[in-house]
Amino acid sequence: MSGTPMTDAAGNEFTPSASFSSDEGRRDVSLVFIGDSFVAGVGDEKALGWTGRVLARTTLTDAVLAHYNLGLRGETSGGLSQRWQSEGTLRFRDATERRLVVQVGHADVTAGTSIARHRLNLANVLDEAASQGVGTFVVGPPPTADPVTNDALSQLVDAQRDVCDRRGVMFVDTFTPSSATTSGRRTSPPPPTASTPARRATASSRGWCSTTAGVTGSPDPKSGPP
């Protein structure tokens, strides 16, 4: 493992993993998806969600991939920061490569979680994961049909992007590409058809190849908030 020394939220210095090694050329990858109802695939008629669609498009050569969906309806960043290790540890056991994909946001808006608290919760997850050699990938929340909610989500997405940029973590914005076709054009939320998670899967596929291939950046952390 290699990388630039960083400091987690508790002030402990660690060196994040920028690469993984494998025995005899075979990769043993444990991939954990954790987050809210969008990760769980709630409302998808095909019961795949965007995670299932992305995995169906993913081909790894000389690798054994074990994937786990830990999506929880109504999950907040605070709840996720508390449970990712307890639930993830069981799935990461004995794997030579450990990957964590995070998507959260809507429940934080509903719960009135401040941007500062959301940033801290996400930063804690990413820092703790990096200190344990777990590669991370963050997918931003998609927009809704409610302009007020979208205003809050827009700020949250910007915060997520900044937190990830400071740590060299891949971030996929599903909000901005979709908001133009969502805002102001519907009077009610879209029906839970397969097309919605399919679009999220397409957006989330960007950067996916480099992440599953083990290419993760670890630039110098920037100064400023988490």
Confidence of residue 217 (pLDDT cuts 50, 70, 90): very low
What is the per-residue pLDDT for 181?
54
What is the per-residue pLDDT for 5?
54
Confidence of residue 32 (pLDDT cuts 50, 70, 90): very high
Q: 43-102: per-residue pLDDT in tens? A: 777 777 888 888 888 777 778 888 899 888 999 999 999 999 999 989 998 898 999 999
Tokens at 179, concatenated: 């908001």
> What long-range pairs does 171-174 form, CB within 8 A, spacing at least 24?
171/138, 171/139, 171/140, 172/137, 172/138, 172/139, 172/140, 172/203, 172/204, 172/206, 172/207, 173/140, 173/203, 174/139, 174/140, 174/141, 174/142, 174/200, 174/203, 174/204
What is the per-residue pLDDT for 49?
82
Q: 96-134: per-residue pLDDT in tens? A: 899 999 999 999 999 999 999 999 999 999 999 999 999
* Residue 2 or 59, more confident: 59
Q: List, in sequence order, every residue forming a beta bridge with 116; answer none if it has no partner.
A: none
**pLDDT at residue 150 greater than cutoff 50:** yes
pLDDT mean across residues, the chain: 76
**pLDDT at residue 214 greater than cutoff 70:** no
What is the per-residue pLDDT for 37?
85
Extents of the domains making up the chain? 30-212
What is the per-residue pLDDT for 195?
35
* Residue 6 or 214, more confident: 6
What residues contact residue 93 under an 8 Å CB cut-off, 6+ apart? Answer: 30
What is the per-residue pLDDT for 180?
57
Residue type, 78: G
Q: 186-196: per-residue pLDDT in tens? A: 333 443 333 35
Q: How far apart are CA 169 and CA 147, in angstroms?
A: 29
**pLDDT at residue 40 greater than cutoff 80:** no
* Residue 15 or 5, more confident: 5
pTM for this prediction: 0.72
Q: How far apart are CA 124 and CA 212, in angstroms?
A: 22
The CATH number assigned to the domain with range 30-212 reads 3.40.50.1110
Q: Alpha carbon 65 to chain centroid distance? A: 18
**pLDDT at residue 213 greater than cutoff 60:** no
- Contact 64/26 with Cβ under 8 angstroms? yes
